[in-house]
Amino acid sequence: MRSRLEKIDLNNITVARSETARDINRRIVLNLVRRHQPISRAAVARRSGMQRSTVSAITEQLIAERWVMEGAVGHLPRGRKPTFLHLNAERAGVIGVDIQPHVTTLAVSSMDNRFLAQEQISTGGDPQEFIARLGHRVIDLMRAYPKSSYEGIGISLPGRIDSSSHRLIFAPNLGWSDLDLKTPLQQATGLAVELENAANACALAELWSGRHLEGVNNLVAVTVSDEIGVGMIMNGQLLRGTTGAAGEFGHVALLPNGPQCRCGNFGCWEALGSEAAAMRYYAESTSVRKGEVGSKSATARVSFGDILRLVEQGDQKAEKALAQMAHYLGAGIAMLVTGLAPDVLVVVGEVTRAWKRVGPVVADAVRARSFTHVNTRVLPTDPEAQPRLQGTIALVLQKHFDVPVRV
Ligand SMILES: [Zn+2]
């Protein structure tokens, strides 16, 4: 295997200048241990292309700093038995926070992305009051799970964050704008805070999960809820665009005379392929008789979860609403596949629970619309794995590892 050093982007002058070759090698070793643990020093040397002596020196340092532990002796047919290396999961804790429009989930994680505890608080109310409440709950969690140290707090939220000022630029579904979440939370807890858009966090989580081949470094995550968010990692780097606003494909118009979107425009992808769109399709199909009092308010209570349940029960109106949503979800995904040609595109959200129905519709749309026929693998994620929350842990830990390089 060729050296991982070749994958470091030399156009990224800030990173290249601030890191010595030794720092880079250290992150490569640490990441190989994380991805392939338990792993022998010889295997690290083989996979990285580094000298055995270099790997041994770096490993000793990582053991001294409690990043890596020696354990489990490997079983080889003959000869010396190597001592295997693994990540010291207990080295530090990480706090993950997933802010969604109504509910915010807090979690304590060990270094190996295992959640030790989770709790939920309501997201509503004045943003300053929310930040104060969140700070108190983080401190309570740290007291309940005393670790020798905490590495930091990672936050995912449905909005875009200016990567230089770290302020929230917009988060329409939260009703917040131009907000500094980072400074007050850092002051309240004494921990470093990393903020990221939810779709970007999911893209990070996906790359961090290790379920893709090591050569996969072009990955797109599409989060589907009442909104549609897109996070893009291209050439191993998160794309942020000017002021961090890149990825708002949800507000690209797919149907010029389509329904009005929350953003004010008409026919946005989000207005056609989101959970909210499926709920609207369902409501429209069940309130056809004009003047029928109360019909609209009765159907307004049908949530997206209800639609998925109704589909399971064979309700034809629900099936039709879901199929219509899936068609437009696929149309938008085809746009991303054609325009970005990622190795992998993952879909995140409750809609993946019905992937056996939705997946083929999406695949058809991609086949029909994407003339480039690139071999992008379109995959659902597992909602039980909590991709947004996994992303918040990766956000905090990634600076110690080599994937991906952040700017
Ligand atoms: Zn829009």
Query: In the beta sheet, which residues pair with residue 179?
Result: 168
Query: 163-198 burial, b for 16+ CB within 10 Å, e for fewer?
Result: beebbbbbbebbebeebebbebbbebbebebbbbbb
CA of 225 relative to ligand 1 center, distance in Å = 14
- Percent of the chain at pLDDT > 90 equals 60
Residue with tokens 């893709």: 212
Q: How far is the CA of 385 from the centre of ligand 1 (A)?
A: 29
- Residue 197 pLDDT > 60: yes
226 alpha carbon to ligand 1 midpoint, in Å?
A: 12
Integer Cα distance of 394 and 15 in angstroms: 19
Cα of 260 to ligand 1 centre, how many Å? 8
Q: At what angle do helices 316-340 and 275-286 cross, to 10 degrees?
A: 150
Neighbouring CB atoms inside 10 A of 336's CB total 21
Segment 180-198 mean pLDDT = 94
What's the CA-to-centroid distance between 347 and ligand 1, angstroms? 19
Quick one: average pLDDT of 123-127?
A: 86
C-alpha 251 – ligand 1 centre gap (Å): 4
Residue-wise pLDDT for 335-366, tens only, equals: 999 999 999 999 999 999 999 999 999 999 99
Token digits of residue 290: 């004009």
Distance 394 CA to ligand 1 centre (A): 29
pLDDT digit string (tens) for 98-108? Answer: 999 899 999 99
First CA to last CA across the chain, in angstroms?
27
Distance 268 CA to ligand 1 centre (A): 5
